[in-house]
Homo-oligomer: A and B are copies of this chain.
Amino acid sequence: MPEVAVRELTMAEAVREALAEEMRRDPRVFIMGEDVAEAGTPFKVLSGMVEEFGKSRVIDTPISEPGFTGIAVGAAMTGMRPVVDIMFGDFLTLVMDQMVNQAAKVHYMSGGAWKVPMVMRTTLGGGRRSAAQHSQSLHAWMSHVPGLKVVLPSTPYDAKGLMKTAIRDDNPVVFFEDKMMFKVKGPVPVEDYTIPFGVADVKREGEDITIVATSSMVPVALAAATMLEEIGISAEVVDPRTTWPLDEKTLIESAKKTSRAIVVDEGYEKYGVTAEIASVIATGAFYDLDAPVKRIGAMHVPIPFSPPLEDATIPTEQVIFEAAKKMCNK
């Protein structure tokens, strides 16, 4: 982190500040989505934005996710820089055609003639007792699509810097925010800064085992690392921050150093983000690994409502702790 004046901001405040600063800087940036204006979104992330920027730049939409996403694509191609708000990540199901067959491919299909500089903000993560249609983490789908970039901040600092990069990027970027983290605080510099895509961040250094964790799973991995420390295992926690582009090098180097790796992500485990990252590490650190790479994703079931059941589906620090302990033969 650069040495500048810092304050503590919540994740929500950090996102909002990034958006507000970019909107002040660049008149082409605007926001649209359901209940983004006076309501400031159900998570209140955008509170106060409409007061500063007005209803022509913070735009409430009907409940028409494909429709307003399509409008964002066209606006982005013709000189604007839209930020689209998809309230719950579960509703990405509705915008796949506009994002995947349109936004992601326009630049390529036109041989570079058109660009689509847009950001789609959405959420991931369970734990809110919201059940199967409001708790999914569908970033694996987006990461699978050439032409999209995929961002998964895990701290207010990262959220602000990555959001600024996303808005300044000339490509469609999908930005996932964990619903449970909006109120978590962290230091954020006052000065303008950006964080490049494709640069993993070592959230904690360690020697014995690497824990790669994304988004909501970063604090969980850090808590597991603290538990591991108590039994004499030094865990390194690495946060890729963007699943595409993916900083394969940092992940592989950490695994080479520690010789063991666990990958934790809140998406469904099968054919999910943990598969890609585990495979990258298993290949890149093949001759250095002392144990198979361990994957820990959300249980491969639709997310249940009942608290004891839902809790069983989300990776916990205890599960990570046990896995790491076993891998380190402790």
Residues of A with Cβ closer than 8 Å to B? 90-94, 96-97, 100-101, 104-105, 108-109, 131-133, 140-141, 143-147, 243-244, 246, 267-268, 270-276, 278-279, 282-284, 286, 289, 291-295, 300-302, 304
Cβ 8 A contact of A140, one of B144, B244, B301? B144
This chain's copy number in the assembly: 2
Cα of A242 to Cα of B280 in the assembled complex, Å: 24
Given A109-B302, A304-B108, A295 contacting B272 (CB threshold 8 A): no
B302 near A292 with CB under 8 A, answer: no
Q: Which residue of B lies closest to A297 (CB)?
A: B144
The 9 A-B residue pairs whose C-beta atoms are closest, nearest first, are: A93-B97, A282-B282, A93-B96, A283-B292, A275-B275, A144-B271, A286-B292, A108-B302, A275-B276
Cβ 8 A contact of A272, one of B144, B268, B301? B144
A276 near B286 with CB under 8 A, answer: no
A101 near B133 with CB under 8 A, answer: yes
CB proximity of A38 to chain B, nearest CB, Å:
27
A101 near B90 with CB under 8 A, answer: yes
CB proximity of A249 to chain B, nearest CB, Å:
15
CB proximity of A19 to chain B, nearest CB, Å:
27
B301 near A108 with CB under 8 A, answer: yes
Cβ 8 A contact of A275, one of B108, B271, B292? B271
